[in-house]
Structures are given as structure tokens and as C-alpha cells.
Structure 1
Amino acid sequence: MKTAYINGILLDGSKNMVPQTDKVILTDGDKIESIDAKGRKLDGYELVDLEGRYIMPGLINLHVHLPASGKPKKKQSDSAKLVKLLTSTEFLRKMSMNMCAGYAKTQLMSGVTTIRTVGGVLNFDTRIRDGILKGELEGPRIVASDMAVSVEGGHMAGSLAYVARSAEQARNYVRIVARSKPDLIKIMITGGVLDATVKGEPGELKMPPEFVKAACEEAHGLGLKVAAHVESTEGLEVALENGVDSIEHGAAPNDRIIELFRERGACLVTTLSPALPYALFDPAKSHATEIQQYNGRLVFEGIIHCAKACLAEDIPVGLGTDTGCPYVTQYDMWRELNYFHKYCGVSNAFALYTGTKRNAELIGLGGVTGSIEPGKCADFVVTEKNPLESLEALRNISMVVTRGKRIEEPRVKKMKNVERELDRFL
């Protein structure tokens, strides 16, 4: 079907985007055919009147875990035990995969037209990806990693990650994950805020350098890039020295780390959303212990430091939410853009560019999506207000277009208690 989007204000996703009026966006099937001046003949096109609303590329979330909603809990659960239960029978596996597919759909309905999953249950992520591509499921484009690789006592070990006890096992688990044809491999190099048992060790090195090197060599041999969970300076150095392609989260870098980023051609995926509640919330609301709050601040400040340093040195920086962590929902990618603006000091335009075109480029989809240009996929969101003036305009999306398919007035079920607490930090 040929469609003409008329009377909208265009934000094209470019680095220095400005509102463009009197433009007509023409699509043919799932592709953008052209962007023309108002007044051209539109015979043969279905007209969609945007009535002065803003149209921009769909958001891209580079760090998603599909098996969780982000609902806060008063007590930390045993994730390995829970995943074991949820995968113990065919019925429970089907129920769990349907839950993950539902969360993927929530991302889409909130204006995210592409997600990158970085640690999931079994091969659910690739199955959901393929189901969406076949039209059997409704959801965003998915760049999937399936299960990650960790070590004994490491981050997400036994739940969303296999447990490697040698370098050869790390290689073997990469091969096992690759059987489902994922788009990347995820490894867990350091611990996280909830893994630490003492103050000052939220990013303790868990995966030995030889494990990292083995996993990266195997993945690269299979044509797959490697994303790494890293939350310490030591972890950054180990990751980049041994072949990692993207650092997820980050920590305070030194000169050697900046040099390694350049040598590797690696990028940083900034995730401020999961650390903020532990760092800034009243512990009565976050249910964080004194140790968790202290370590949360270290991680939050380290991620900000890393993002600012990389931006200053022209190291590529992308954005993701780490969805699934407490207070990090499947519908709040706009908050990550807002935190990037607020805490890393970038403009609203740069935050929008990062969450769309830049993110697409970092995952090899720059020629497919991320900006509104002829030949690219018709992935759009429409808002009533101007996101360049306030990123909160993205909070309520009035239309989503995914691969040419239009969804009018998309809705998601929101958690009022989560909204209330997070709104204190806009």
C-alpha cells in the first residue's frame, strides 16, 4: 500500500535536526519512497493527515532483557531458581515465551521500533525475532543475543547466562548460543550492583581475561560481535584488550581505555536507567540496602563519567535502558534519552539522534532504519508536542509505524508507583 503522511512536522533523526514543515513523507509498503514538498499530486496514495503533529524515526533501544517487566520488588529473588522453574516443562516454557513476546510488543507500543536484546531465556529472543519477521507476532525489529555467557558467581549466572568454568567452555557456550542464529553474543565480565556484597565492588572482575579472549575469538570466527556487561575500570580494560565490540553500562575510563576503544573500534552503550533508582532514590522506595545504594552511586557516576569521556573523545556512544531491572520498564526508553540529556549534558536534539540514527548505525542497521530518508524502512513515531523542546513529549505516542504498518493511538499499561517515583528525577 502506498501512503502519504501529510501536514506533519518532520524531525528526520539527523545529528542537527530541526523541525521541517510543508513536507510530505511517501511510503510504499515498508519503505520510505520519498520526502517531497507540500503540493505534489498524491493520486494513488492513502492520505494520513498528521494535523500538525511531530513525526520522527522510531526509537531504538540497545539494551533490553525481555523476561522481566521492571516491577520493583521489596526483596531480591533468586533469578536462577526462577528461570529453572519457568523452563522446567513445555507448558511453562510456552507461557514464559509468550510473556517475553508480550514485553516486546510493549516496547513497540511505547514508540520503540527496534530493540537489541542482551541476555534472555534459552532461545526465546531469536524465536520471537523470527515470529515477528514472519508476521506471526506483533513487535519491534529485534537484534537478538539469546542466552549470555558468564562464570561461576558471575552476573546472571544460571539464569540469563550459561556458566563457563574454563576458556574452552566459554568457547563452547558461544557455539551453543550460535546454533539459534543470534545477531550477537553477550558476555558478563564483571559483577553488578546487586552482585556485590561489600561497598566499593559493584563491578568486581569475574570473568578471567583468557575466558573473554576465547569467547570473542569464537564469536568473531562465527561472524558475530560481542557485547559485554562491564561496570568497573578494570573490567573495561580486560574487555577491550581481549576483543569485545561494545561495552554495556561503563565505568570511569583512563587514557589507556580510551586508546583501546579506538584500537578496537568499539562503542559504549550507556544505560543510566538501572543505576538511577539505587543511586538517587530514598532507600525506603528502592528497597536498597546501604551497600546497594553506595554501589549504585558508584555505578551511576561511573556510567556518566564513561559517557562524557567517550563523547569528548569522539568514541561512539549509544543508548539502552537495561529493561527488566527494578524500576526500568518495557515502555520507558524516552526516560533514558532524558537522563542522557540531563546527566551527560547533551542537547535534546543529540539525545534524539543518539536514540534513533546513531543507535541504528552502532548495530549495523544505519542503512535500514534510524532516520527518515528515502530507501529506509518506514519506522516512525508521532507525538503531539515537540521532543526537541521536551523529551517528555515521547512519553505518550499518538501513532507508531513499524515497517510500514500503522498503529493508531498505541497504548501500554503503566505502573503508577513506578511512574510516580521516576517522575521526581525528570
Structure 2
Amino acid sequence: MKTVYINGIVLDGSENMQPKTGLAIVTEGEKIAAVEPCQAAYDGSQIIDLKGQYIMPGLINLHVHLPASGKPKKKQSDPKKLVKLMTSNNFLRKIMLKMCEGYAKTQLMSGVTTIRTVGGVEDVDTQIRDAILAGKMDGPRILAGNMAISVPGGHMAGSLAYEATTPEQARSYVRQIAKDKPDLIKLMITGGVLDAKVKGEPGELKMSPEIVKAACEEAHALGLHVAAHVESPQGVQVALENGVDTIEHGALPSEAIIQLFQDRKACQVATLSPALPFALFDRHVSHVSEMEQYNGKIVFDGIVECAKACLANGIPVGLGTDTGCPYITHYDMWREVNYFHKFCGVSNTFALYTATKRNAELVGIGDQTGSIEVGKCADFMVTEKNPLDDLTALRNIKMVVARGKRYADPQVKKMSDVEQALDPFI
């Protein structure tokens, strides 16, 4: 049976999208069969009357860690010990898998129809991806990264990332990860705010250029793109010089870095959400040290300036939330879209385009999703108000459609303390 969405105001996801009325979106199975002037009758079809609400492509979140909720903590936990515990026996592994499945569904119920995972536990991400594709569970399309590669003392070493000590070992880990058929390889090239030991030096280079190059060469030989956690100018330069495809986070770029982005045809995946609590919250709320707040501001400003410079020089910028960091939940991709507008100075229209069609194109699935076009997947979300006027319209989703399956009145359980802390920065 075909499904026809009528009386909706269509935002198609294109760069210069304008609200369009009088159109019907016809879906058949997982695909969009037609986008046409609304007919008087659609015999034999299921009719969904949107009653003047706005229908647009589902959001795409390019930076997700499934094993964490984003719940803030007063004290830092040890991720290495936690992962060791959760993988110590089959019972705890099943609990972890169910938890990650729930978080994936939360992404979907918040209007995110595609996620890209960039560091998870063992092969959990690909397991969930495959279960969703097989119709065994509800969730978004997943581009899965599984375990990442770090170095001893590096970011997420021993928890969400293997520890490579030599270029040869890095190649071996790439091959090991590739056995579970992930969609990308993730490298942890620098430290981050919580790794910094000195004020003013977040994002310290941890991974040698030789290891970066070896991992990228091996991944590319296997047909896999490479994403890299990078939070310093030195790290960005090393990443781009040695073959990384996407810079996750970013840092204040030099002219040489801009040239490297262009030469490599690389892009930045900006993640404004995770650094904001460190940089802008009162420390009585964030429970971080003065040094961590100072370093958080450096990282936040670096991500913003990297995005602005990339956009000014025609370098694509994508968006992701870094879900799992403190205060960064699985239902708040709408905040990242809003921050992109607020802090990087792009229009509401460009922000929504980035979170839909452009994000899809940047990770190679622009032919499948990201816009409302014939032949693409029926991946939609519906809002009561127009996000082109106010991006906070994305906060309240009235309907989600993923690969043709419709979820009316989707609900997510929200954390009131997180909402209260983040809302002043909308």
C-alpha cells in the first residue's frame, strides 16, 4: 500500500529551501515514489493528513557514542574500568547492548533518522545497525564505527579505543575492526579537555604522524573513510597531512590547514554541543575545575572558528552532537542545529540544510537520504511550527518516518536538570 502525506508544508532539505504548499508526498515501501501537486483522490492508499504542519527530512547526527546517556556527573568516572566491567561476561554484555539499542531508538524518536557512531564498545554498533536493517528493532539508519584506535595515554584508550603502539599495530587494529564490516574507522589523534594536564594546552597531540598515516592507508585500502578526534591546530595538521577524511571537532585553523582541507577534499564535523557546558556553564553547575573551564573555552572557540573559516573558504562543514558527553543527550540534535546558527552565524535555512542534505552528502549517503526527493528513502520528521523561522521548532517532533515506517507522536524521556542547564544558551 502506498502512503500519501497531504496538507503538509514541505521543507525539502535543499540549501535554499522555501516552504512549499499544495504538495503530496507519496511513499511506497521505504521509498519516496512521488512529490506532486495534491490530487483529489488517492484510491487504495493510506492518507496521512498533516493539517498544515511542516514536513522535512529527518535530522542526521554525524557524531554519536551509543554507550553513554549524557547524564551529567559531579565526579569523573573511569571509562576504562566501566567498559571492562560491562564486557566481563555475557549477561552484562546483553545489558549494555539493550542500553545502546534504547539510546539508538531515542535518537529516532527525537527526529534523527540517521546516526554515525564514532567510537563504541566492541562490535555493538554494527550489531544494532544490522538488527535495525533486518527489521528486528526500531532505530535510525546507522553508519557504524565500532571501536576506535588510540594510543597508550590517548583519548578513550582502553575503553572505546584500542591502544596502538606502532604503525604496524595500527594497521592490524584497522583490519581487526574491519572484520565486523563497519562503515568507517575512527582515530583518536589528540587528547581533549579532560585529558589536558596543563592550562592552555587542550587537545595535545598523542598519536604520531606515522601511526596516523599507517591507519589511514590501511583503512583506505579497505574502502573505509577515516574520521579523527582532533582538538588542536597541531592535531588538525597532522591528521590532514596523513590522510584523515573528516576532522571531528576541530581547532583554530591556519592558512596551511585551510589549504590542507582543500587539497585533501576533507571536511569538518563540528560538534559545538560537548564543549559548551565546559566553556560557558557556571562551574557550580558543570562541576569542572577552573583549568578545565579555561581549556573548554579554547576548544569551543576553536571549533567555532574552524567552522567559520571552513565555510568562508568553501570547505564543507557537517554537524554532530558528540552524544554521551556530559549534558549531551540522545534527543538533543536540535540544539546542535541551533548552536550552528547562533555561534557560527549561518541562517536557519542553512543550519537545517546542513543537518539534513549536506550531512548525508558528506558521509556518502546523499543518494539515499537527506532530502525529500523521488527515489530517496522516506525519512521525515514533522513539526507544528516552521524551523526556518525558529529552530526551536525542532524541539517538539509530532511525527517521525524512517524508511517508510511512521511513528506518530514520538516521545522521549528527558532529563530535567539537563534541560534547565542548557536552555539559557538557546
Quick check: TM above 0.5? yes
Within 5 Å, which residues of 2 pair with 1:22-421?
22-421=22-421
Write out per-residue CA displacement over residues 17-48 of structure 1, whole angstroms, 9 at most, x where no aligned residue. 11001111001111001111123541121100
Hey, what's the Cα distance between the residues in 1 that align with 2:223 and 2:40? 45
Write out per-residue CA displacement over residues 140-178 of structure 1, whole angstroms, 9 at most, x where no aligned residue. 000000000000000000000000011111111111110
Write out per-residue CA displacement over residues 166-216 of structure 1, whole angstroms, 9 at most, x where no aligned residue. 111111111111010000000000000111111111110000000000000
Give the secondary-structure state (helix, strand or coil) at the position aligned to 2:7: strand
Aligned-partner residue type, residue 173 of structure 1: Y
Deviation at 1:115, TM superposition (A): 0.1
Give the secondary-structure state (helix, strand or coil) at the position aligned to 2:94: helix
Aligned-partner residue type, residue 51 of structure 1: K
When the two structures are superposed, what TM-score results if normalisation uses the length of structure 2? Answer: 0.99
Give the secondary-structure state (helix, strand or coil) at the position aligned to 2:350: helix
Write out per-residue CA displacement over residues 251-278 of structure 1, whole angstroms, 9 at most, x where no aligned residue. 0001111111111111100000000000
Hey, what's the Cα distance between the residues in 2 that align with 1:43 and 1:149? 54
Hey, what's the Cα distance between the residues in 2 that align with 1:421 and 1:214? 42
Give the gaps of 5 or more residues in structure 2.
Answer: none
Hey, what's the Cα distance between the residues in 2 that align with 1:226 and 1:367? 20
Aligned-partner residue type, residue 329 of structure 1: T
1:422 maps to what in 2?
A: 422
Give the secondary-structure state (helix, strand or coil) at the position aligned to 1:149: strand
Hey, what's the Cα distance between the residues in 2 that align with 1:106 and 1:205? 34
Aligned-partner residue type, residue 35 of structure 2: I
Hey, what's the Cα distance between the residues in 2 that align with 1:26 and 1:44? 12
Hey, what's the Cα distance between the residues in 1 that align with 2:166 and 2:29? 49
Give the secondary-structure state (helix, strand or coil) at the position aligned to 2:388: coil
Deviation at 1:365, TM superposition (A): 0.5
Aligned-partner residue type, residue 368 of structure 2: V
Hey, what's the Cα distance between the residues in 1 that align with 2:289 and 2:176? 37
Deviation at 1:72, TM superposition (A): 0.2
Aligned-partner residue type, residue 422 of structure 2: L
Aligned-partner residue type, residue 83 of structure 1: V
Write out per-residue CA displacement over residues 61-84 of structure 1, whole angstroms, 9 at most, x where no aligned residue. 000000000000000000001000
Give the secondary-structure state (helix, strand or coil) at the position aligned to 1:304: helix
Q: Give the share of equivalent positions with the same residue, in percent.
A: 71
Deviation at 1:230, TM superposition (A): 0.3
**When the two structures are aligned, how many residues end up with a matched partner?**
426
Give the gaps of 5 or more residues in structure 1.
Answer: none
When the two structures are superposed, what TM-score results if normalisation uses the length of structure 1? Answer: 0.99
Hey, what's the Cα distance between the residues in 2 that align with 1:201 and 1:218? 31
Give the secondary-structure state (helix, strand or coil) at the position aligned to 1:273: helix
